[in-house]
């Protein structure tokens, strides 16, 4: 199942999976990161981070957070 989260003002987040549990399900995952400031409907990040994601994560039991260092041009 997919997981989702929103960051707070400090960039902190907590994933919730579709089953209602905390965190991601143990598996391989494609990762999509979006940034829509104030619900404007305008995506602020390049498509390689969302619609055409190049991000992936391998979730194993007991892993801590998996963060992504996004780079701009």
Angstrom distances, CA of residue 51 to CA of 30, 37, 46, 62 = 11, 17, 9, 29
Q: What local confidence, expressed as pLDDT, does residue 55 receive? A: 94
**Tens digit of each residue's pLDDT (9 = 90 or more) over 12-25:** 889 999 889 998 98
Mean pLDDT taken over the chain = 88
Work out the number of other CB atoms within 10 angstroms of the CB of residue 65: 9
Distance CA 30, CA 54 (A): 8
Share of the chain above pLDDT 70, in %: 97
Q: At 49, give phi and psi (nearest 5°).
A: -100, -5
**Tens digit of each residue's pLDDT (9 = 90 or more) over 42-63:** 888 999 999 999 999 999 887 7
Question: 0.75 cut: is pTM over it?
Answer: yes
């Amino acid at each position: 199942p997919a997981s989702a989260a929103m960051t707070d003002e400090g960039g902190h987040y907590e994933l919730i999976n579709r089953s209602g549990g905390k965190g991601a399900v143990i598996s391989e995952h494609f990762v999509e990161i979006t940034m829509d400031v104030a619900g404007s409907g305008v995506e602020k990040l390049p498509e390689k981070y969302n619609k055409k994601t190049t991000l992936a994560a391998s979730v194993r039991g007991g892993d801590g957070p998996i963060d992504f260092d996004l780079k701009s041009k």
